Amino acid sequence: MALSLIWDSELDFHAGPDSPELKLASSRAGVYSPMTLLAQAVMGCMGMDVVHILQKGRHDLQGLTVEFGGERSAEQPKRYTKIHLTFHVKGNVPKEAVERAIALSHEKYCSVSNSLRQDIVFTTSIETDAH
């Protein structure tokens, strides 16, 4: 995989010419920061895995929202030390099936979460809406 970022000014970058549009900034409202993108990547990777596993199991998944909560170190590097994902599941899906899908994603399939340091406290929770 080959990607590039191009520096614009101050601490602002944009994705290279062969990538979808993406703007990055260190800490400016309305622009993704690298840490926010990492959080989005974890949610996206695990969310996609969970949807795929539940659909493959022919469960009545009607909607899924993933929320991220994280804590960062106070000292440099200000890395995530805790990550908590909440999976809001809509549809008539057994909680055990969702738990299994989340575990499979985190332990085996999600390349993003498995690329992070192993000492991160990583937890999840599930909220269901069977209607």
Q: What is the pLDDT of residue 13?
A: 94
Diameter of the chain measured on Cα atoms: 50
Is residue 28 located within the same domain as residue 53?
no
Is residue 4 located within the same domain as residue 49?
no
Is residue 20 located within the same domain as residue 55?
no
Q: What is the pLDDT of residue 126?
A: 92
Is residue 38 located within the same domain as residue 56?
yes
The tally of domains found in the chain comes to 2
Is residue 112 located within the same domain as residue 53?
yes
Question: For residue 64, what is the domain's CATH number?
Answer: 3.30.300.20
Q: What is the pLDDT of residue 76?
A: 95
Amino acid sitting at position 86: T
Q: What is the pLDDT of residue 27?
A: 82
Q: What is the pLDDT of residue 1?
A: 75
Q: What is the pLDDT of residue 129?
A: 84
- 3-state SS class at 30: coil
Instruction: Give the C-alpha distances (Å, rounded to integers) separating 103 from 8, 46, 48.
Output: 40, 10, 13
Name the residue range of residue 2's domain: 1-32
Question: d(Cα 57, Cα 29) in Å, to the nearest integer?
Answer: 40
Q: What is the pLDDT of residue 65?
A: 97
Q: What is the pLDDT of residue 131?
A: 63
Is residue 22 located within the same domain as residue 54?
no
Is residue 91 located within the same domain as residue 49?
yes
Cα angle, residue 96 at apex, residues 92 and 102 outer, rounded to 5°: 100
- 3-state SS class at 119: coil
Structure tokens at 79: 């890395």
Tens-digit pLDDT string for the chain (131 aa): 788 999 999 999 999 998 999 999 998 888 999 999 999 999 999 999 999 999 999 999 999 999 999 999 999 999 999 999 999 999 999 999 999 999 999 999 999 999 988 888 999 999 988 76
